[in-house]
Structure 1
Amino acid sequence: MAKFYPELTESLQEFIQAQHIFFTATAPIQGRINLSPKGMNSFRCLDAHTVAYLDLTGSGNEASAHLIENGRMTIMFCSFAEKPMILRLYGTGCVIRPRDHDWQDFYSLFEPIPGARQVVKVSLEAVQTSCGFGVPLYEHLGDRETLVEWAEKKGEAGIQQYWHDKNQVSIDGLPTYILNEK
């Protein structure tokens, strides 16, 4: 039932645009695998071979550390609506931070969201669909405002302090370089 594609077709890009949630997975060479849900209209298809998402400040910064170490990332979308399907994007990612020269080019692709930490760009190596027959039906009721409210309350200085305190290394001790260069 699984089918591989050499690129993101137009119909697969339309499927992605219709989804309200996606999941990212990364892993270090040694250590814990990270799997995170994402939403808030933070994903973009740049072309048939490249995607990006706006990464928001969170409790950790695992994906950044893993991408710096080895670049591997899988992104998964699944339909919770009537027509079942799972879409996996396999690729190599990199992190673009506000201090990087191409930040504005990528950040401008998204609506500003308080607490934006970095943009993750992924060059696709493989695209796979599978049936999704076991995925339950769910109704999207809306995005949570909690993260936005938290970031607004912290303010820019508070976000920078949070990055300093919580986002500089992964749970396995790998650097993220969120505040400084390699």
Structure 2
Amino acid sequence: MFFTASAAPSGHVNVSPRSTDMFRVLGDNAVMYLDRTGSGNETAAHLKADGRLTIMFCAVAGPPLIMRLYGRGRVIHRASDEFATRLRAHFEGIAPLGARQMVHLDFDLVQTSCGYGVPLFEYQEERPQMDAWARAKGVEGIEDYWREKNQVSLDGLPTCLFE
């Protein structure tokens, strides 16, 4: 699990957990993740409005360590050629049902710090609810959900999901 943090120049700050199985390292200063459907789409709205993005990893086993990647992010829209190219290159051409977009981060600062305050956990398994929800909705149901819940942020900023 990792966390993304984003904000527009005003309004709410967003922090979201993400699954590392969708995370990819692209180079020395670039990473991306395949973003699955959520109850909101704050990160996309904030990247459109401001572009700042921080990704944070916390060690929950082994030595205590936190790592943050600070930089500028952008959304790669599902209908774009770039999405299709990256899907083939990094995910064997297969998007899980409910894959909404990709988020790319060019980072210019990496910071590590102690993770003394992070508790120890043991991984058990991925939660099945995301896949079950997506299967129950189906492709059309997911797109309807995006139109209803994912087009504007909590602060009314556009996410540009259907650009």
Deviations along 1:64-86, one digit per CA (max 9) or x if unpaired, are: 00000111000000100021110
One-letter identity of the residue aligned with 2:77: R
One-letter identity of the residue aligned with 2:26: L
Q: Residue 62 of structure 2 corresponds to which residue in structure 1?
A: 82
Asked if 1:71 corresponds to 2:51, the answer is: yes
Q: Residue 16 of structure 1 corresponds to which residue in structure 2?
A: none
Cα offset, 1:56, TM superposition: 0.5
After superposing on structure 2, the runs of 4+ consecutive aligned residues of structure 1 that deviate more than 3 Å are: none
Cα offset, 1:107, TM superposition: 2.1
* Aligned mates of 1:87, 1:113 — CA distance in 2: 27
Cα offset, 1:40, TM superposition: 5.5
Q: Residue 160 of structure 2 corresponds to which residue in structure 1?
A: 177
Asked if 1:157 corresponds to 2:137, the answer is: no
One-letter identity of the residue aligned with 1:178: L
Change (3 A) 1:124 1:52: same
Asked if 1:123 corresponds to 2:106, the answer is: yes
Asked if 1:26 corresponds to 2:6, the answer is: yes
Deviations along 1:21-70, one digit per CA (max 9) or x if unpaired, are: 00000001110000000115010111111000010001000000000011
TM-score when normalising by structure 1: 0.85
Structure 1 unaligned runs (5+)? 1-20
CA contact (8 A) 2:2 2:20 kept: no
CA contact (8 A) 1:107 1:119 kept: no
State how many pairs are aligned.
Answer: 160
CA contact (8 A) 2:65 2:112 kept: yes
CA contact (8 A) 1:29 1:70 kept: yes
TM-score when normalising by structure 2: 0.95
* Aligned mates of 1:162, 1:120 — CA distance in 2: 20
Q: Secondary structure at the match of 2:153?
A: coil
* Aligned mates of 1:107, 1:152 — CA distance in 2: 20
Deviations along 1:114-165, one digit per CA (max 9) or x if unpaired, are: 1000000000110011111121110000110101110111111001100100
* Aligned mates of 1:32, 1:90 — CA distance in 2: 19
For the aligned residues, what is the CA RMSD?
1.0
* Aligned mates of 2:71, 2:32 — CA distance in 1: 11
Structure 2 unaligned runs (5+)? none
Deviations along 1:73-118, one digit per CA (max 9) or x if unpaired, are: 0000010002111000001000011112211122231353210000
* Aligned mates of 1:113, 1:128 — CA distance in 2: 31
